[in-house]
Chain A
Amino acid sequence: MKRSFVASTFDFLSSRLPIEKLSFKHMVTEKDVPVHRMSWGYYVGGLALFFFIIQVVTGLMLLFYYEPTVSEAHESVEYITHFVTMGALVRNLHAWSASFMIFCVITHMLTSLAMKAFAKPREITWIAGVLLLLVTFGFGFTGYLLPWNQIAVNATKVGLASIDQVGQYLPAALSHLAEDVRVTIQGAPAIGQATLSRFFALHVVILPLLVLGVIGLHLLSVQLHGMSPGIEEKPVRKEKFFPFFILKDFKEWGIAFLVVFVLALCLPFDSLFPYPLLEPYNALGSTPDGIKPEWYFYFVYYPMELLPFWIIIVVMTTANLGLFAAPWIFKGASHKFMRWIASAIAAYLIIMTLFGESIYHAIKG
């Protein structure tokens, strides 16, 4: 007899969130970490969390001085950078650590994919992780606008305008829908105060709250299920999570902090852009040369420049759905195959991020 929907849902949930394992003994004393050649992947998620903590702390510090209005935003950022004691350091920490966080989150996704860490019973961990990945990109996109300089506003403009492009593929009766969505996100037909207010609210309140919730679920299910084995064979050696692994974790955090702190002290994030892009946004002037998104959007930006837009839509939608559905799509896949897939994605991301611009110029001349 077929079991009822409610009963099978209950079964699914109770095996995915085994609350009976919610004990100190299970989650601390007995937790093991397998040791094998891909063990380094177990550190990346923790590092992402660490960078997120830095983001929260430095972000709160920046809030002390930042003013989210069209006329004041750029000035207040300049004020932080040039007048507040160590303000430049805090801002650079926020900028560098953001990049590191995104790098870690992507790497974490790839290593989890390669280790087939989403396999039963860890589907919920994986889905929460994919959500966190998307939210992280949301952080990047919304935070980029806040300094309200030329590159920030113009790049956001370009980013949002790509929503309009979807309209051309919708049936005539719905074709205005895309534009409506964009205007709703912007809060006004053109980017302005409404957009800044919305992005500010998203960046400092809504997304952080979202992250806190989802990260709670993510970490809880990691603790309940323990580390995923990561490889097909039985691991030869296991390491106690407490006290061994956690100390190594902290050590990595310390090194990471040193790196990001020294970088923030020595190399202003701004120095990677030519000055005209950092001038206050001029709504009436023309768009300056060299507008592009942050490096972590290159993998979608350059293809978007080169290929017909419908291809981008199809690929992006497939990729997103594929990410969410990975636990079911790759249910029977071998670890070797997953390593292949992850390597292929990694290769694509690296090539597009490092050489996307050159490829674009080579093709477009």
Chain B
Amino acid sequence: MLELFLFVGLPYAATIVCIVGTVRRFKYDRYGITTLSSQFLEGKKMLWGSAPWHIGILTVFLGHFVAFLVPGVWQRLMAIPSLLTIAETLGMAASLICLVGLIVLIFRRATTARLQKTTKLADFIVALLLLGQIALGLMIAGGFRWGASWSTGTLAPYIWSLITLGPDISVIRDMPVIIQAHIVGAWLIVFIFPFTRLIHMITVPIHYLMRSPQKVVWTNPRRNASAVVARADQNSRRHFIKASLGLSAAGLLLSVGVLDKLGRFFQMPGLHHDEEADLLETRLRRLQLTAEEKQLELERLRSNEIYVSKLSDLNGSTGKYFIDYAMRPGLAFRSEDGWPMLLSAKCTHLGCTVGNQVDANGKILCPCHVSYFDVKTGLPNEGAPAKAPLDRIAWIVRDEQGAEIATESSRGSRTGRIDPQMAEYYSLYIVRSLSAEA
């Protein structure tokens, strides 16, 4: 019976009283819909009480309101652990903030004689009711964790059952007393709403946030004189606060997004062992390539002659790349008379590697800046970016027994004789002793 009264009767009674009372007061006491500002009676503690109180209570109220208004959406949001943590933390922090504010405000009322002249009994009832309600809320938040999540399946259906005029208190009935007290407290606050200063809520001056601040002051000539300056000052401070708030909010959002993305950069990427193997294989291949390159270098430092190719494998249309003594690319061709032709493949313009395909004019192309080089002479075409001819590379041809058959120095002087029929048995080497550096 008591339960029915507290959770069904009281809510409906409170709502009816609240609506009727508010309309009535709006009609007969329009200018009384106010908190009776006391800022000019006492201003210092006011700031430290009123601001945290309002910021905190509005945040808490908004949280309750959204959870009850759209429980389905809210529940899905709260299923994300990080969001749930954020909501609970925000809620608790906000309650603490408004608790502190409220205590400061009560203390202020209690210790300022000027204020007590304008304080009514209703004000103390409101204050105590709110204080109790917040304390209960904090206790619930601490004692029955994750209320942001469980309330959607318990309290929200209860509220909706009242709204849809089919009261269902089955869930509420078995809840801990402390939660029940919180619910009853809420209905009591609704009940006394029209008779107290709480009613100032419906005339919230939201546009105050946008307009220049006004301050209620005692007037006297001295103040009048400095008022204009003060106003200008306030304006710039207001601009600064607005802008920095906006910027910090934007900065916060940005950094949350950025940190969410970039924070994971430092975690070890969890690779599948197949991926890991592929990766290792590629790395190993690169290491081997480097090792081969070093090998080539070592060979060029140590030996006087280096094998390029079998003479019969060379032709006049596609050059074979090799690495010369300076570790630069070279190209080996074979002319119609059967003699090898060895050119440096390093473009004399800016050092790109020249292509190995001989075109119809007997020229090879450097793709970087389009210089054509004659394969026979190494000379660049007229007007090419490259001015100097490609270097000739000294070579020696040996037969299968290693006997010297023919040579050419890097200046182009030849010795020996090459029999094209025997090309299959001849091997071509580059040789250090005949090159210009030697």
Residues on A close to B: CB < 8 A?
61, 64, 70-72, 74-75, 78-79, 83-87, 89-90, 154, 157-158, 161-162, 164-165, 189-190, 240, 243-244, 247, 250-251, 254, 257-258, 261, 280, 283-289, 291, 305, 364
Contact = CB atoms under 8 A, between A and B. Distances in A.
Contacts of A61: 262, 265-266
A279 B287 CA distance: 15
A310 B285 CA distance: 44
Given A61-B265, A71-B290, A250 B327 contact: no
Contact of A157 (B267, B290, B351, B367): B351
B283 interface: yes
Contacts of A250: 247
B289 interface: yes
B269 to A, nearest CB: 5
B354 interface: yes
A254 B252 CA distance: 11
B73 interface: no
Given A85-B267, A86-B261, A291-B368, A286 B251 contact: no
Nearest to A157: B351
Contacts of A286: 321, 329, 345, 352-356, 367
Contacts of B267: 85
Given A86-B261, A162-B350, A75 B283 contact: yes
B138 interface: no
Interface in B350-377: 350-356, 366-370
Contact of A64 (B266, B329, B351): B266
A157 B328 contact: no
B236 interface: yes
Interface in B264-306: 264-267, 269, 271, 275, 279, 282-283, 286-287, 289-290, 293
Nearest to B383: A364
Given A71-B290, A83-B275, A247-B244, A285 B353 contact: yes
Contacts of A189: 326-327
A72 B288 CA distance: 11
Given A83-B269, A157-B350, A243-B239, 9 more contacts: A71-B290, A72-B287, A83-B271, A83-B275, A85-B265, A158-B351, A189-B327, A243-B236, A243-B240
A284 B353 CA distance: 9
Interface in B338-352: 345, 349-352
A300 to B, nearest CB: 14
Contacts of B244: 243, 247
B352 A157 contact: yes
B351 A284 contact: no
Contacts of A284: 293, 321, 323, 329
A304 to B, nearest CB: 9
Nearest to A58: B262
13 contacts: A85-B269, A157-B352, A161-B351, A164-B351, A165-B350, A244-B240, A247-B240, A254-B247, A280-B286, A284-B323, A286-B367, A305-B369, A305-B385
Given A158-B368, A243-B243, A71 B352 contact: no
A158 B368 CA distance: 9
Contacts of B345: 286
Interface of B: 236, 239-240, 243-244, 247, 250-251, 254, 258, 261-262, 264-267, 269, 271, 275, 279, 282-283, 286-287, 289-290, 293, 321, 323, 326-329, 345, 349-356, 366-370, 385
A247 B289 contact: no
Nearest to A188: B327
Given A189-B326, A243-B240, A287-B367, A84 B275 contact: no
A43 to B, nearest CB: 15
A119 to B, nearest CB: 31
Contacts of B370: 364
Going nearest first, the 8 A-B pairs with the smallest beta carbon separation are A71-B290, A287-B352, A286-B353, A161-B350, A243-B240, A85-B264, A161-B351, A158-B350
B368 A89 contact: no
Nearest to B328: A190
Contacts of A158: 350-352, 368
Contact of A287 (B261, B266, B368): B368
A75 B282 CA distance: 8
A287 B271 CA distance: 35
B149 to A, nearest CB: 29
B265 A84 contact: yes
Contact of B254 (A85, A89, A154, A254): A254
Contact of B250 (A89, A254, A261, A305): A254
Given A75-B282, A254-B247, A289-B367, A283 B264 contact: no
B412 to A, nearest CB: 23
